Amino acid sequence: MTDINEEDDDWVSKSQRKRECDDVLELGEKMITMNQDELDQITMDSELRQALDDAQRIKSNNALKRQKHYIAKVMRGLDDQTLSGQVERVLHKHDIYNAEFKRMEKWRDSIIENGDRGINDFLEQYPHADRHHLRQLVRNAVKEKKNNKPPAAYRQIFKYIREVSDEATSNDANDY
């Protein structure tokens, strides 16, 4: 039996190394299926980009298999966690947008239904939002609903929530 030193924290089992290699290979396969616009959104070196372009042109199954392994070899030298995060973000952009949209709809409904309490909850999350503007929009939305008018203020509340949320997101991105 092999003695494993407890001091050796870098030791990784052969099975774990195989799983990591399979993960990198799978990530490379995902990247091969992406179109050029999606690949442009990912930060990568020119060697990896060239390997992906070559793989997308290959028709032979055996050659494609070899190219996939080459791509995995090139990716092993890179930060695969960052690369994986970028690929997932690009591939799931639609899901992320839908989740954001639903979250903003919930804020709008909460603000209209709960009035000042909903506004206060929103301001806790987004302190740079304008309380007076939100109150005015809520009063207009309630008045429109009462008079059976088209929901213009209702849409304006959603638009304002989107602006505040986008502003907060851009400020968070600038902080890094």
Write the pLDDT tens digit of every residue in 53-100.
999 998 889 999 999 999 888 888 777 677 888 888 887 777 778 888
Q: What is the pLDDT of residue 45?
A: 86
Helix (H, G, I), strand (E, B) or coil at 7: coil
Alpha-carbon distance 127 to 125, whole Å? 6
- CATH of the domain spanning 14-91: 1.10.60.30
- Out of 1.10.60.30, 3.40.50.300, 3.10.580.10, 3.30.300.30, select the CATH number for domain 94-169: 1.10.60.30
Q: Which residues contact 108 (CB under 8 A, 6 or more apart)?
A: 154, 157, 158, 161
> What pTM does this model have?
0.51
Q: Which residues of the chain have pLDDT under 70?
A: 1-9, 80, 171-176
Show me where the domains of the chain are located: 14-91, 94-169
**Number of residues assigned to the chain:** 176
- Same CATH fold assignment for domains 14-91 and 94-169: yes
Q: What is the pLDDT of residue 2?
A: 53
Q: What is the pLDDT of residue 132?
A: 92
Q: Which residues contact 131 (CB under 8 A, 6 or more apart)?
A: 119, 123
Q: Which residues contact 174 (CB under 8 A, 6 or more apart)?
A: none
Q: What is the pLDDT of residue 67?
A: 92
Q: What is the pLDDT of residue 176?
A: 46
Q: What is the pLDDT of residue 136?
A: 92
